[in-house]
Structure 1
Amino acid sequence: MALISLKSLGVTMSAPLFSNLDLAIGTGDRLGIVAANGRGKSTLLKCLTGEMEPTFGDITRTRGLRIGHVEQSIPDALLDCSFHQAVADALPAEQAESELWRVDVVLDSLDVPEPMRERPMRALSGGWQRLALIARVWVTDPDVLLLDEPTNHLDLAKISQLETWLNALPREVPVVIASHDRAFLDAITNRTLFLRPEQSPVFSLPYSRARDALDDVDASTERKFERDIKVAQQLRRQAAKLNNIGINSGSDLLTVKTKQLNQRAERLEEAAAPAHREKSAGAIRLANRGTHAKVLITLEDAAIETPDGTLLFRTGKRHICQGDRIVLLGRNGAGKSRFVTLIRNAIAEPETVQSVKVTPSTVLGYSDQALSGMSANDTPLAMVSRKYDVGEQRARTLLAGAGVAIDMQERKIGMLSGGQKARLMMLALRLANPNFYLLDEPTNHLDIDGQEALESELLAHQASCVLASHDRSFIRAVGNRFWLVEKRRLTEVDSPEDFFRSVAETVT
């Protein structure tokens, strides 16, 4: 039974985000919404809740329907509340005292430790804040659950935990998920909506299989378009020949035939629709200046420690060679970020890190998950033109190509969207022209097109890199070596799959 029905729905801002959307959401649905950054996913969710009116079309909701909407950011008003209080405050006033037990039931289902429940929200990690927002919505007992980028800030353990929790929800509660996490969508969804400006196809398949089906449809549409245009051109050529003959012979029949052929060609051209071309949110291109050195970095049993000197693990004797794409695997707190910092310090100031030997020709391209290499108060134009000495006009061209429009180039970087900041960071990496990349959560804020572009660039340039990521699809696509941090040791494993399974099994 459909709980929400959309008929010819569309939203236009400066340009159409989506249009002609027909969709029914009902019992058993686990619907994934896929689109590039800024192309209407969050807008559609707000239309479903009634928070925003569509530009055209109709939305029908069953009477009394309770819709739970988990947004991306935490309201400032909640930051000084404890985890428990933030969830309790979401209860309707008439239930606040008599049904407070519901809060503990939800927190238990999400495996929130008792000490965590009394911590203020502002002291929690982004991952725990995200789970608090989900708990706040679920405690209200919604009939439909909407999730906007639910895996943002979650580590692999929490992503697995969220997958388990969502898959255990009652099937009569539909779940609608807007996400760029391909592996997460595959694990949760049974339907996929690809949101597009002209026509938004829906497949009764999880993401990867739906993407294959979409590619087939697009390829078929493109073949039909090319075929129709070719036939229209042939008709016009025939019409031109008949027209010449008709003029010379004075034949009215040939004149009529010429008109008919041109009309057929016109109808074909009007009906012909090319396959969808996704408007780029900004190109991602990398560089690799290369080096003659086979070994870039040698680890001499380096000790990875906390700031107070507590040993997290030792590396053993390891080499990072040209062409290696090493993925660091390990649970939160194992020391992956500390390891990345150690390598970065060893490249920047070799004399300060005795246990790491760096080949002198190594040139670093570095990005962390906070994008700390960019100042929020700087402007994109000033950053690029000053830091990379490319001149203002060249800087403007590069920025536009990376998805930072002219009107945003002289605004503060802090005003950019997460996707724009990520693409600006990718541009900075390219201009550094490194031969070794050190990447900490590089797919944060990138949409699926951006993730795939980054994967393609790393592979095409045979870039040497060490990366830490919670994006399973990205890890599988890019990595050719895998280092696992576990039990205070660094070991090399053949594949990340056993680690992924161990994380999921721990949760279940």
Structure 2
Amino acid sequence: MITLRNITLRRGAKIVLDDASVTLQPGEKIGLVGRNGAGKSSLFALLTDRLQSDKGEVDIPRQWAVGEVAQNMPETAESATDFVLAGDVRLMAARKALEDAEVLEDGHAMADAHALLMDAGAFDAKPRAQALLMGLGFKGEQVEAPVNSFSGGWRMRLQLARALMCPAELMLLDEPTNHLDLDALVWLEAWLQRYDGTLIIISHDREFLDAITKVTLHLDEAKLHRYGGNYTAFEAMRAERMEQQQAAFGKQQERIAHLQKFIDRFKAKASKAKQAQSRVKALERMEKLAPVLASADFNFEFREPLNLPNPMLMFDEVACGYEVDGVENIIVRGINRSVLAGQRIGILGANGQGKSTVVKTVARMHRALGGKITEGKGLTIGYFAQQEMDVLRPDEGPLSHMVRLAKECSPNAREQELRDFLGQFRFVGDMVNQQVGSLSGGEKARLVLAMLVWQRPNLLLLDEPTNHLDLNTREALSMALNEFEGTVMLVSHDRALLREVCDEFWLVSKGEVAPFDGDLDDYQRWLLDQSKEAAKAAKDAAKQAAKNGGKAGAAMASTTPAPVAAAAPAAKPAVREDRKLSGQARQKLAEQTKPLRREMEGIDAKLNKLADERSNIEAELASGKASPTQIADLGKRLKGIHDELEAAELRWLELSAEVDAIYAAG
């Protein structure tokens, strides 16, 4: 178990933990909550020895491996799969042991290293790594792409996958959902529910915490308070605790006032001096209770729009996408929808289907690549970009942003009015001139919200607005959106926000936009069904690949041309003639590729034979009956089998590429 005893932790002049103690049991799933800046990430650093406490003890079992998401942005040309595989420290150690043994030509060490590789699950490690990547939204062709070819958000997903790959007894996840779409979030939620180690999560996603955690650890006023329950249960228990604390404080204040009144009245009288002195001592011995000081809530509201055109938008066969070097790449086409005044539309869809592209097209960030978008007269759009820096300037301060915006929207606004307005969003004093590039993610998000409110829009386009918002600010946003009189189009992985704000959903899928007939629970079930189908298909392909000889079978499944479907029995003569010609072409291609396919069949047989031999050697090593000399010989033979398999699989892939080239040319 994890035990923190009387911990005091300072960061500069700030006390993060003050004589804090808590005990966490093995296998517990814990949500670590507290306001922004309370010190949650510092507590993680304490648990991983990146920080040392000023006082007290931290006790974590020495044998526990700890997994966490690295916050640095990886910059490497290695493939996404190899980068994630490197997160499995046991596998990497076993591989290193085998490399060292091979250099020394030490058969005993080779056999030991192969045993370590078996324990680490080396033979299915790559599929496991790629399953993590696919679950987090990477496409089939992306799993072998170089890490430095991905954007920042995708690289953070790679870091998350690498952390999940680690066989850890303790997993620390700091805002793991920030860069995820809803489909990836649902997958991660299911994965963490199955995780059997100890898990501590920092998150501002209420439903995510409720689905996974059974314990809530609240960091407040430099103290740690443990609650048995998920986030919703924690809120109820904390409210009750605060009410009891406030009642106890009130009673104590009444008692203090009563004692002080007696002391003040009788301390000068000789006949009552003794009683007065005893009450003075009672006051001194009394442990003073502190009043409940609730954190100041953050609230804001969108101003009433000047007008509400209806319809606000009309899509007529609209195609959305982007251009690269003058080449159009259409992602979604054929949109025929209307957006009416007062609608609350949640935009759903798996990662990469084009949700953000649709929003950017409506926001005029991208031009429509086809069809026509008709805007209602007086349409005013407020756009919250998924990447806040798309609409912010890093070298300017919040006040400069507001001054520039006021020149466009309300040229008569005075600077003091703009300063007062920013103060409503917690930009006070010198913060109004602090460069945006140095602000935290939450501060940038609040600035974008302030700019939206000032524009007085009648259509709000919000693309993942909660990525850097704490729970209080998310609740304030939800309340403001519910009171907003205009139209909302929302892309978000925050299910609580979608439930509270949206009354209908659009699904972006397979290049189309269509209404989704159901609620968020229906959509989540649909996502899980899709994930199960994909997993089953991958599992079946893996089984088939194993039958066909490992990688060769998998490659064959992906590269062999699909069989031509049988023609309908009642075909016209012209169709029969076409079929005859195509049959002749197929026969010609078959003759051309026959020698290549024959060699591939021979390689398949060899691969199966080598795989069987490897299994027999591994079984013999595992039995413990082999003599030291036999172990050394078997270890060397395993190395030879490994090399033969690599060479045979490489030759199979070369032949497969030649067959593909012949079919493509024909």
* TM-score computed with the length of structure 1 as normaliser: 0.85
Cα gap change, 1:201 to 1:238, in 2 (>3 Å): same
> Secondary structure at 2:217's aligned position in 1?
strand
Tell me if the contact between 2:361 and 2:367 (Cα under 8 Å) persists in the aligned partners. Answer: no
1:426 pairs, out of 426, 441, 449, with 449
Who wins on radius of gyration, i.e. which is larger? 2
Greater CA deviation, 85-94 or 214-223?
A: 85-94
Tell me if the contact between 2:216 and 2:227 (Cα under 8 Å) persists in the aligned partners. Answer: yes
> Secondary structure at 2:508's aligned position in 1?
strand
Deviation per residue, 1:483-504 (Å, 9 max, x gap): 3334524215452221122113
Alignment of 1:371-386 (within 5 A): 371=388, 372-386=390-404
Match of 2:243 in 1: 219
Letter in 2 for 1:227: K
Deviation per residue, 1:224-248 (Å, 9 max, x gap): 22333244335445655x44xx86x
Measured after TM superposition, the shift of residue 209 of structure 1 is 1.8
CA distance in 2, matches of 1:89, 1:207: 34
Matched, 1:25 2:24: yes
Matched, 1:325 2:347: no
Q: Which one scores higher on RCO, CA 8 angstroms, separation ≥ 6? A: 1
Deviation per residue, 1:288-339 (Å, 9 max, x gap): 22345472514254524223263624443424213x3221122223332233
Greater CA deviation, 175-184 or 337-346?
A: 337-346
Deviation per residue, 1:365-404 (Å, 9 max, x gap): 2211111211112222322234326555454454454234
Q: Which has the higher helix share?
A: 2
Match of 2:469 in 1: 446
Tell me if the contact between 1:408 and 1:416 (Cα under 8 Å) persists in the aligned partners. Answer: no
Match of 1:110 in 2: 132
Measured after TM superposition, the shift of residue 197 of structure 1 is 2.1
CA distance in 1, matches of 2:377, 2:273: 79
Matched, 1:355 2:373: yes
CA distance in 1, matches of 2:71, 2:94: 26
CA distance in 2, matches of 1:484, 1:471: 16
> Secondary structure at 1:80's aligned position in 2?
coil
Letter in 2 for 1:285: F
Tell me if the contact between 1:325 and 1:479 (Cα under 8 Å) persists in the aligned partners. Answer: yes
Tell me if the contact between 1:144 and 1:174 (Cα under 8 Å) persists in the aligned partners. Answer: yes
Tell me if the contact between 1:126 and 1:154 (Cα under 8 Å) persists in the aligned partners. Answer: no
Measured after TM superposition, the shift of residue 44 of structure 1 is 0.7
Match of 2:650 in 1: none
Tell me if the contact between 1:343 and 1:356 (Cα under 8 Å) persists in the aligned partners. Answer: no
Tell me if the contact between 1:151 and 1:159 (Cα under 8 Å) persists in the aligned partners. Answer: yes
> Secondary structure at 1:421's aligned position in 2?
helix
Alignment of 1:47-196 (within 5 A): 47-75=46-74, 78-90=75-87, 91=89, 94-97=93-96, 98=98, 99=117, 101=123, 103-110=125-132, 112=134, 115-124=141-150, 128-169=154-195, 171=196, 173-196=197-220
CA distance in 1, matches of 2:162, 2:480: 40
Cα gap change, 1:414 to 1:296, in 2 (>3 Å): farther
Matched residues, number: 489
Letter in 1 for 2:358: F
Measured after TM superposition, the shift of residue 422 of structure 1 is 0.8
Measured after TM superposition, the shift of residue 185 of structure 1 is 1.3
Match of 2:302 in 1: 287
Greater CA deviation, 492-501 or 144-153?
A: 492-501
CA distance in 2, matches of 1:152, 1:88: 23
Tell me if the contact between 2:133 and 2:161 (Cα under 8 Å) persists in the aligned partners. Answer: no
Match of 1:466 in 2: 489
Letter in 2 for 1:364: I
Tell me if the contact between 1:286 and 1:427 (Cα under 8 Å) persists in the aligned partners. Answer: no
Measured after TM superposition, the shift of residue 440 of structure 1 is 1.0
Match of 1:505 in 2: 529
> Secondary structure at 2:179's aligned position in 1?
coil
Cα gap change, 1:65 to 1:330, in 2 (>3 Å): closer
Deviation per residue, 1:435-460 (Å, 9 max, x gap): 33221111111111111111122224
Letter in 1 for 2:83: A
Matched, 1:364 2:363: no
Letter in 1 for 2:474: Q
CA distance in 2, matches of 1:408, 1:271: 37
Greater CA deviation, 98-107 or 467-476?
A: 98-107
How high is the sequence identity, in percent, across the aligned residues?
27
CA distance in 1, matches of 2:254, 2:495: 43
Letter in 1 for 2:3: S
Residue ranges of structure 1 left out of the alignment (5+ in a row): none
Deviation per residue, 1:69-114 (Å, 9 max, x gap): 2234434xx4433212323444476423544646415314425365
